Amino acid sequence: MQTDATIIAQCTPSGSGAIALLRLSGADAIIIVDRFSKLTQGQTLKAQASHTVHYGQIIDQDKQVVDQVMFIVMIAPKTFTGENVVEITCHNNPFIIEKIIGLAIFHGARLAHKGEFAQRSFLNNKIDLVQAEAINSLIHAHTEQAMQKSLSQLKGSLTNWSQQIEQSLYKCLALSEASFEFIDEEMDFGPQIRTELEQVITQIKLAQQSYGIQQQIKDGVRIAIIGTVNAGKSALFNALLKRERAIVTPIAGTTRDSIEAGIYTNQHYLTLVDTAGLRQTDDYVEQIGIERSMAEAHQADLILLVFDTSRMVTPAELAIYQEIMTKYQDKIILVGNKCDQIIKLELPDQFKNLNLVSAQGLNGLTELEALVLGRIKQLLETDSSPFLLNQRQFNILSTVASNCQQILTMITNPEYELISLHLNEILQILSALTGQSITEQGLETIFREFCVGK
Ligand SMILES: Nc1nc2c(ncn2[C@@H]2O[C@H](COP(=O)(O)OP(=O)(O)O)[C@@H](O)[C@H]2O)c(=O)[nH]1
Ligand SMILES: [Mg+2]
């Protein structure tokens, strides 16, 4: 990849807002901006000290003023990319922005690729790969918790953690070499290698266990509303969202497909999913809807299992409820809807903790919400890891763990030359985590996931 070019991109999203930020990075960033700008009293940006802010104008090829802007000059290497950087804060008008970018390109810059600023930062050793990825997850964090974890990762929490794993592996390597070296003296460090590797595996397992919870922290908690047709699921969905999102009618089978909507509440991002009702039907479309309900139940982090308390359940319905209950007991909150009417529902003991609500009369909803939030808190609190893992990082750790496991099987009848070779391979795999060893192709793939201007 060519890194000597000076690049430019708009860092703020296009659209409404008073001001926009454009960023240039590269050896010539400052002199390029000098070619199409004017500071007060004929000064140049090149003559300014690093990390200073200046008022000035953007001047086009016809010597016309395009905009009045602020320039921030930052001289390498103490910048995000490690290169010379100029940031231009201009008025947020697409014509102005296009013109400034056009002028920068005319005077020698080129448009930045997605994630190219972060990529340069990585290539100039300003940040490692997990920190670059943390920036991306920070930008896209849906919840406060995800934001906190991304910030801590940016400060190096995952990097430090992986360095400890690396140190343990180096220790194993040293022990393996020593065992090979002193084979005649019958020095065997096998047991020590075993203990060390078992610890590495445990550490990785712990990090991986929280991966599922971390996805919830990142993307928000998914809550599926499941129950028989006409139980009032759509009414409950609307009542919890506090708006009329789903259609509510007395006609059975109104909701034929799942509908979802997101809400922020108490610093949590929740996705509520309204599903088609559970009942055996000949209607082909409705049947698909029911299969989707089951799939939603499986995928959800929490299930609101809704009963209609104004009537009895049929044995067939009860059988489906029981199936869901046995499969997903831990993530179910039982809801008895229509409590404003005479209660005719009778249920086996298994379902005795029914939370009575009236979606229509808006009764019992505050209590239900509190219950849901309590469960979410419980769910998320089990994650003690300070960092977020993404799929790439998760996969690398899986490979490291399974390779360590393989060495454990070799230790019973050790051939230390082979074990050392294998340990070196594992260290190589692990170093791809922070990007010490990663192909250029691999890097491109990672940074192209970023947005332009980052
Ligand atoms: N009395 C009473 N009727 C309700 C309540 N919630 C929903 N309903 C009615 O039950 C019927 C079915 O509601 P709907 O939300 O479409 O059920 P769904 O099939 O489970 O989505 C509609 O006629 C609603 O007006 C409630 O809390 N009390
Ligand atoms: Mg419905």
Stronger pLDDT, 311 or 438, i.e. the higher one? 311
CATH of 222-381, one of 3.40.50.1580, 4.10.320.10, 3.40.50.300, 3.30.1600.10: 3.40.50.300
Residue of 283, 337, 339, 357 to mutate, ligand 1, most atoms within 8 A of C-beta: 337
* Ligand 1 center from residue 45 Cα (angstroms): 67
| 211: confidence class by pLDDT, cuts 50, 70, 90 | confident
Q: Where are the domains of the chain?
A: 6-127, 138-214+390-435, 222-381
Rounded CA-CA distance 198/48 in Å is 56
| Calpha distance 320→324 (Å, rounded) | 6
Provide mean pLDDT across the span 173-194.
85
Which CATH topology does 138-214+390-435 take? Four Helix Bundle (Hemerythrin (Met), subunit A) (1.20.120)
Tokens standing for 6?
């000076």
Q: Do domains 6-127 and 222-381 have the same CATH topology?
A: no
Q: Quick one: average pLDDT of 13-22?
A: 88
End-to-end CA distance of the chain: 17
Tell me, using a 6 A CB cutoff, whether residue 360 lines ligand 1.
yes
pLDDT of residue 287: 67
**Spatial distance between the Cα atoms of 245 and 312, rounded to a whole number of angstroms:** 28
Angle at which helix 157-181 crosses helix 129-139, to 10 degrees, equals 150
Contact between 83 and 76 under an 8 Å Cβ cutoff? The reply is: yes
| Position with higher pLDDT, 376 vs 169 | 169
Strand, coil or helix: what is 291?
A: helix
Residue 252 has what pLDDT?
62
pTM greater than 0.95: no
Pocket test for ligand 1, best of 230, 236, 254, 258 (most atoms within 8 A of CB): 230
pLDDT on residue 1: 47
Over residues 33-56, the pLDDT tens digits come to 999 999 988 899 999 999 999 999
CATH architecture of 6-127: 2-Layer Sandwich (3.30)
How would you class 374 by CB atoms within 10 Å of its CB: exposed for 0-12, middle for 13-18, buried for 19 or more?
A: exposed
Ligand with smallest separation from the Cα of 229: 1
